[in-house]
Amino acid sequence: MTDALANGNFDYCYINLIGTDVNKIQLAYKSFRLWFPEKDSVDYELKANIYSALLKKQKEMGFMKSYEILDKEFREFQYTNAGYRYGLVWGRFVNWVEKNWWGYGYNKEYIIRNVIFIYLLFSFINVFILDHLTYKVYKSEKINEWKKSINEKPILLFLASMPFSMFYTAQIFLDLELMLRNFYMLKIFKNGRYLI
């Protein structure tokens, strides 16, 4: 079915492959989605077998984009199915993390986006508790001196504090000083001698 055309009103066509020998069909999965009728009450094992056989077929035929789409769909099916190892509630959480953190391993660029989002979120939260943090948690004399020298309205002080909060969060988030210290303390041991 490599030459089948989907209805222009829909992105893809639902296909039921229960009872079909997947090895005898050829289809580029990017135009299809698996469909399992509820009335057939197909169990988890049979559905998983159909997914696995179709994944193998997509790889054999070299349809790598179709393979990726099907693999993502299969992983979501596994995580959100009570018959899988995580159970339904925990499985849905794991699925959400896997899907949004790195697209089930296919979209690693999501990690950069997510790290930046988490960093900005913590920077924003830290603006509200910057005084407490800089005096009692991870002391920063320079930021404290700056805060004492400013006599502005609360809104302007809040806006002016944002860059300092971002810097403070970066110190904790990345802890560059600790990373550099550990790098210089690294000793490589070989043949009874330290090389560094």
Q: Give the model confidence (pLDDT) of 35-47 as tens digits.
A: 888 766 778 888 9
What predicted TM-score, i.e. pTM, was given to this entire model? 0.70
Mean per-residue pLDDT, 65-89:
88
Residue whose tokens read 């997914």: 51
**What's the distance, CA 57 to chain centroid?**
27
CB-based contacts of 28, cutoff 8 Å, min separation 6? 1, 2, 61, 63, 66
Q: Which has more pLDDT, 13 or 86?
A: 13
For 20, phi and psi rounded to 5 degrees?
Answer: -105, 140
Provide the β-strand partners of residue 193.
190
pLDDT at 101 over 90: yes
Mean per-residue pLDDT, 26-33:
86
Where does the pLDDT of residue 196 fall: very low under 50, low under 70, confident under 90, or very high at 90 and above?
A: very low
Judge whether 165 and 124 are in contact, CB under 8 Å. Answer: yes
Q: Copy the structure tokens of residue 40.
A: 């057939």
Q: Which amino acid is at 83?
A: G
Judge whether 81 and 91 are in contact, CB under 8 Å. Answer: yes
